[in-house]
Amino acid sequence: MNISFTRQTLANGLDVLLHEDHACPIVAVNVWYHVGSKNERPGHTGFAHLFEHLMFEGSEHHDKGYFQPLQGAGAALNGSTNADRTNYWEVVPTGALELALWMESDRMGFLLPALTQAKFANQRDVVLNERRQNYENRPYGLAPMALLAALFPDDHPYHWTTIGEIADLERVQLDEVHAFFRRYYHPANASIALAGDIDAGEALALVDQYFGEIDPGDDVEPVRASARLQRDVRIRFEDRVELPRLYLAWLTPAMFADGDADLDLATDLLANGKTSRLYRRLVFDERIATDVSASQNSREIAGYSQITATAAPGHTLAQLERAIFEEIARLAAEGPTDEEIERGRVQAEAQFMFRLQTVGGFGGKSDQLNAYNVFLQDPAYFDRDLARYQAVTKASLRAAVARFLDAARRVTLSIVPEGRPALAAADSAVAVVS
């Protein structure tokens, strides 16, 4: 299942990953900058994401919209920002590869001369509207803000969400944007992957032609921070919702660290799909919840696991909390069944295949090569990544659950209908979220 690729590093430090796949006459261009909301500081949040928007507004030699020439060439394109990285991608017909490289390299090397106050003000308005649409005006939409703020201390870079605080977004100035670009957007902090209908040698020459002339920039120091929960932090807030919802969250190992794959499978067998233990009990048998889900959210310098359940009418969050911890305790004591382990393994294998069906876009082979390269400096990690899941045993999964999904060290968040604070789990303090 290995993905064949070559890696070259240009003289300016830019990593170039090349994967040939001639099935379809398309090429995925995928650029990662190793910068996300984790590189922001308190009072200056939302910056990495706002910056992603500005990357589509034109650069020195093409000082107008980024979309028009590429969409006219038949490309799909987009970008995204998370806590740890920002990515930009195009999937283009083979004949438009050079155009995509021209455009990507121009905004890597020559963005600032074109970055004006007017563009900046417009995109800040767009981002504030993105925030209203996806968080403020959406039921339970502010849950991530409350959870992250409670899990991670004020000065930890996972304390805030990628979309950022409204006040910070309103305060940000153009000169900060320029400084941010100079610090993080350069070859030494980037990795580009091309996957698809290319000749690796020709493609490398093109990448070198367009990106090789860009100054390398300064190395970026890794972000270091630590977090520790010492108790059950119980919080609540009221929202425009009909049914109360319970969120449980724990600090867990970082991406690729020991225990990460165990918790990934553990959260799946607890609450992913109709075969999961919590779905069976809460939704299917006892019918005290309308839905339940769980995930291990592994990030570069820390992770957190989360279980979410919505109370069915007539039932309480206390009932959900009790039942969920009974199931966690049972898993921590007895471990998973052979069948659950076998299911987890085959599902992991199938998920890998599903992810590698496309050359690019959000996900796909180019994005996965960049992920392994940026986080592990090892784009050949595919096999070992799958092996992490195949290596999970009943004992290792049980131990991870017992150690990390600890009832005494967690965040317990209740989101309840407006005017009904009594529906929150007991002893919850009011959380201020915005």
Least distance (Å) between residue 379 CB and other proteins: 19
Q: How far is the CB of 66 from other proteins (least distance, A)?
A: 9
Q: Which is nearer to other proteins, 306 or 358 (CB)?
A: 358
Question: Does 111 sit near other proteins (CB under 8 A)?
Answer: no
- Contact between 259 and 393 (Cβ < 8 Å): no
Order of strands across the sheet that contains 6-9 = 6-9, 15-20, 190-196, 26-33, 86-93, 76-81
- Residue 362 interacts with other proteins (CB under 8 A)? no
How far is Cα 186 from Cα 375, in angstroms, rounded to an integer?
17
330, two tokens: 């049972």
Give 143 or 411: the residue with its C-beta nearer to other proteins. Answer: 143
Residue closer to other proteins by CB (options 257, 391) is 391
The Cα 406–Cα 402 span in angstroms is 7
Coil, strand or helix at 92? strand
Site for other proteins contains 366 (CB under 8 A): no
- Select 124 or 410, whichever has its Cβ closest to other proteins: 124
Q: Specify the residue, 153 or 212, whose C-beta has the smaller distance to other proteins.
A: 212
Contacting residue, 31, 148, 283, 294, with other proteins by CB under 8 A: 283
The pair of three-digit structure tokens given for residue 367, joined into one six-digit string: 């994005």
Q: Does 338 bind other proteins (CB under 8 A)?
A: no
Q: How far is the CB of 191 from other proteins (least distance, A)?
A: 18
Cβ proximity to other proteins, 352 vs 403, nearer residue:
352
The verdict on 433 binding other proteins (CB under 8 A) reads no
Question: What are the two backbone dihedrals, phi and then psi, of residue 245, each rounded to the nearest 5 degrees?
Answer: -130, 140
SS3 at position 434:
coil
Alpha carbon separation from 257 to 376, 380, 388 (Å, rounded):
11, 17, 10
**Footprint of other proteins on residues 387-406 (CB under 8 A)?**
none
Inter-residue contact 410 to 249 (CB < 8 Å): yes
In degrees and rounded to multiples of 5, residue 242 shows phi and psi of -95, -35
Between CA 69 and CA 60 the distance in angstroms is 15
Judged by CB under 8 A, the chain residues 185 through 244 that form the site for other proteins are: 205, 208-210, 212-213, 215-217, 240-243
Q: Which of 357, 408, 427, 434 binds other proteins (CB under 8 A)?
A: 357
- At 259, list the tokens: 């225990």
Residue numbers 54-73 binding other proteins by CB under 8 A: 60-62, 65, 67-69, 71-73
Q: How far apart are CA 168 and CA 47, in angstroms?
A: 9
* Stretch binding other proteins (CB under 8 A), from 39-47, 120-128, 248-256, 380-388: 120-128
Site string for other proteins, 122-161 (x = CB under 8 A): xxxxxxxxx-xxx-xxxx----------------------
Take residue 334 and report the two structure tokens written for it. 């007895």
342 binds other proteins per the rule CB under 8 A: yes
Interface residue with other proteins, options 40, 106, 165, 264 (CB under 8 A): 106
113 near other proteins, rule: CB under 8 A: no
- Identity (one letter) of the amino acid at 318? A
When binding is defined by CB under 8 A, the residue of 154, 231, 274, 408 that contacts other proteins is 274
When the beta carbons of 302 and 311 are compared against other proteins, the nearer one is 311
Residues 305 to 334: which contact other proteins by CB under 8 A?
A: 310, 312-313
With contact defined as beta carbons under 8 Å apart, do 334 and 398 qualify?
yes
> How many residues touch other proteins (CB under 8 A)?
90
**In this chain, which stretch among 22-30, 39-47, 221-229, 251-259 interacts with other proteins, using CB under 8 A?**
22-30
CA–CA separation, 220 and 54 (whole Å): 21
Contact 40, 160 (CB under 8 A): yes
26 makes contact with other proteins (CB under 8 A): yes
The answer to whether 114 and 63 have CB atoms below 8 angstroms apart is: yes
Using the minimum distance from each CB to other proteins, give the nearer residue, 44 or 355: 355
Q: Which of 6, 20, 76, 174 binds other proteins (CB under 8 A)?
A: 76
> Applying CB under 8 A, does 110 fall inside the site for other proteins?
yes
Q: Are 56 and 67 in contact (CB under 8 A)?
A: yes
Q: Cα Rg for the chain, rounded, in angstroms?
A: 23
Q: Per CB under 8 A, does 99 bind other proteins?
A: yes
CA–CA separation, 98 vs 210, rounded Å?
9
Residues with Cβ within 8 Å of residue 315, at least 6 apart in sequence: 288, 289
In the region spanning residues 235 to 254, those forming contacts with other proteins, defined by CB under 8 A, are: 240-243
Q: Which of 359, 405, 413, 415 binds other proteins (CB under 8 A)?
A: 359
> Exposed, middle or buried by CB within 10 Å (0-12, 13-18, 19+), for 285?
exposed
CB of 16 to other proteins, least distance (A): 13
102 contacts other proteins (rule: CB under 8 A): yes
